Structure 1
């Protein structure tokens, strides 16, 4: 009897301990389930690639010690993915025509929208993959796709190279191609920067005005004076919100909130506006709200604005920015687009916001995008190559790429997404991949090799140019 009581007591202690662990880890487990559902829904119905492969390459490494407890079901007839962690934490993401996937809360049906029937513009680059004949360019692509460390796979999925506006080289991993939309992560911020630029050109917004956020309307609110420029530059005073752990203000915003802009607007300031830089998904959630407010306040209105004013003029036929449950664009990190689409976007900035003789962005907007913020290597929606010492706070990552020319600037997203723009070389290089397990991507050295191939010289000479 004493032994039985001892066993029962220990089981009770273990159960209580397990319950306590689940209680303290519940936010991370909710986020894990939502991340799996959202990612695999987009893989299946937006990118149209194998969700099991995406789970193995992207989500499973992120799950770390809980991957054994993750289950997911891809429901193609209902166009949704359901995920669970330990059978206790559930998430569902559903695909919507023209809007990508959206996290659903509970079992309520997801609001649908009419199918977008815009005219698809023929791809000016043609339907065939452009394989370079220059051995040096071929070697540079080999370098971009190399896997030097099997314990830290780079998993490059696409590389596209434009020179003088012409597609001169591209390569894709098996299962990917010129029309495959790929998750851009924080490259989306640079696209949101362009959408704000369009609204500045059209007149509804001004860079130096106080951001018209409803929650900040009171003059006594410490957020009240934050400008659109400060939101773009990430020196608004909002906290550095994306850490290396699974739980942060940004992951909570993306995977736990139905209205991302309301959550961002109510975040307390960490610094006085304009006094300090901090990486800010919150800022870009608020900028996304401004885009939505200017285009009717609905998901379909915002998406129609994006397509009409940016995607269609550039021929970005395979791009979509997803929305939250309130209809606000997830402009901080949830855009999908083909590597060619992102190359076209980079070319727009190389050409000072003009495409085919039509001005899309205000004159000088590209220069503004890579003008330095405070003493950092960040500009206004793009990273710069102006600082090659020190590192990004919190992340301990380098600011720039010292092997490339100083005038280079770039859009960057998690897991190795890059749009590298080098004005002095008339060059745009796009790299997309799933470099989830660290170790870098090598795209800086590969881009140096591409420039060297164009000059028929050694990459080692580029850093001093």
Structure 2
């Protein structure tokens, strides 16, 4: 038992890269980051050494704020990709050496917002109910308080299910146990077996396990099969038809556990350009090329604050002040009130500012002590735009 704990602790420490989940506004999903190439080569080239397509001349003040995310590595960590769009058109694109437009980078908890949109498609189609009891078989026994949990509670991280996102020591956290420990073979089963620790809407508890429960619910709505391959195929086909093809997110690659359940809280991969396409989809409130794919009512729900944390919506972060003692997620004192973001472990961001008509994707590796500086740099950039 001690050996197992030591192995889990060593793995988790390496995967965390010395970074506390709680200090990143609960951005769950922990796993090893790929080695960071040294800075120094020209960042205007992609991994093949080809010049990136020319972009329109950018205001020097904006360019300086964007470039600072690469230059100030000691302060903000390594920025591997920065991609900025205004009115849907790229105005800035830059990569660290060894990375480029075709490089797929991990989402970490940005995946949660993708899971929320997938849930919205099924609610809009009538296969799921936002306010009815969440269809989790283990919660439907008579007298089980979890039977009162709805999809809305899950999406707002207010289900009341017991969960410790970040343990001390690290291996005692539920996220590590689910992803790399005893729950890894059946992540949804692990998450759904947790007891109720509070009434729904009684408290906010950020939980990567909650997003896996949603993934399980989505998959059950798509196929009755318990065969892992069938479950994976059903989810992949669904994502292909609802996101990959209509949005052009051809690089989007979700990961699955051994039971065929998508790890919807933390592990997807895509290029910076494709993450930006998802951001643009949200900026346009579910409309692509003039065609509405997601109801306006679902976007309104996603952007409605959770009952106990105004800084969090329906599986997405809002640019609003969080409760006292909660770590900062965005920059409500500086940015527009309508700004929102998908945020992931180690500083992955899809920032959407509708009133500025802007979408920003920042991907990289940032440690806990660097997060205040990273948020300040990103706030500087959005302010300059």
Which TM-score band applies after superposition, normalised by the shorter structure? 0.7 to 0.9
Gaps of 5+ in 2: 18-31, 38-50, 226-230
- Mapped to 2, the partners of 1:28 and 1:191 lie a distance apart of 34
> Which of the numbers 203, 213, 234 marks the counterpart of 1:301?
234
Cα distance in 1, alignment partners of residues 359 and 197 from structure 2: 36
Instruction: Note if contact 1:421-1:427 (Cα within 8 Å) is conserved in structure 2.
Output: yes
User: Is contact 1:386-1:406 (8 Å) kept?
Assistant: yes
Pick one of 258, 265, 276 that aligns with 1:332.
Answer: 265
Equivalent in the alignment of 2:28: none
Q: Which of 322, 338, 356 is 1:407 aligned to?
A: 338
Comparing 319-328 with 435-444, which one deviates more in the overlay?
435-444
The aligned counterpart of 2:282 is: 349
Alignment of 1:428 onto 2:359: yes
Secondary structure at 2:262's aligned position in 1? coil
2:46 is matched with none
Alignment partner, residue 285 of structure 1: 212
CA contact (8 A) 1:241 1:281 kept: no
Q: Is 1:29 aligned to residue 31 of structure 2? A: no
Tell me the alpha carbon deviations over residues 316-336 of structure 1, each in whole angstroms, 9 at most, x when there is no partner: 111111000000000010011
What secondary structure does 1:177 align onto?
coil
RMSD (Å), alpha carbons: 2.5
**Corresponding residue SS for 2:113:** helix
Structure 2 counterpart SS, 1:305? helix
Tell me the alpha carbon deviations over residues 331-359 of structure 1, each in whole angstroms, 9 at most, x when there is no partner.
01001111111111111111111111222
**Greater C-alpha radius of gyration:** 1
Contact 1:429 1:447 in 2 (8 A): no
Task: Please state if 1:398 is matched with 2:328.
Answer: yes
Q: 1:379 aligns with which of 313, 335, 339?
A: 313
The TM-score with structure 2 as length reference comes to 0.82
Asked if residue 212 in structure 1 is aligned to residue 111 in structure 2, the reply is: no
Residue 80 of structure 2: SS of its match in structure 1? strand
Deviation string, structure 1 residues 255-278 (Cα, Å, up to 9, x no partner)? 122111111110012211111110
Q: 1:360 to 1:173 in 2, by over 3 A?
A: same
1:129 and 1:171 in contact (8 A); partners too: no
Moved over 4 A (4+): 31-37, 53-58, 129-132
Residue in 2 aligned with 1:273? 200
Per-residue deviation, residues 365-413 of structure 1 (Å, max 9, x unmatched): 2222121112411111101112156342xxxx21431221122111111
In the alignment, what sits opposite 1:96? none
C-alpha displacement of 1:214: 1.2
| Shift in CA distance, 213/130, structure 1 to aligned 2, threshold 3 Å | farther
Native 8 Å contact 2:202 2:308 kept in 1: no
Q: Identify the residue that residue 40 of structure 2 maps to in structure 1.
A: none
Moved more, 379-388 or 320-329: 379-388
Over residues 285-321 of structure 1, what are the superposed CA-to-partner deviations in whole Å (9 max), with x where a residue is unaligned? 1100012112225112211211211122111111111
> 2:61 aligned with 1:136, yes or no?
yes
Deviation of the 1:171 alpha carbon: 0.9
The Cα of 1:279 is off from its aligned counterpart by 0.6
* Distance across 1 between alignment mates of 2:13 and 2:111: 17
Q: Following the alignment from structure 1 to structure 2, what is the Cα–Cα distance between the partners of residues 290 and 31?
A: 31
Q: After superposition, where does 1:362-377 map in structure 2 within 5 Å?
A: 362-376=295-309, 377=311
Summarize the alignment of residues 80-229 of structure 1 with structure 2, pairs less than 5 Å apart. Answer: 128-129=52-53, 131=55, 133-134=57-58, 135-147=60-72, 149=74, 154-229=77-152
Aligned to 1:264: 191
The DSSP-based 3-state class of the residue aligned with 2:146 is coil
Structure-1 separation of matches of 2:115 and 2:34: 27
Equivalences, count: 344
Measure, in 2, the Cα distance between the counterparts of 1:34 and 1:375: 30
Name the CA distance, whole Å, in 1 between partners of 2:10 and 2:57.
Answer: 44
Q: Residue 429 of structure 1 aligns to a residue in which SS? A: strand
The residue number in structure 2 matching 1:311 is 244
TM (norm. structure 1) is 0.69
Aligned to 2:42: none
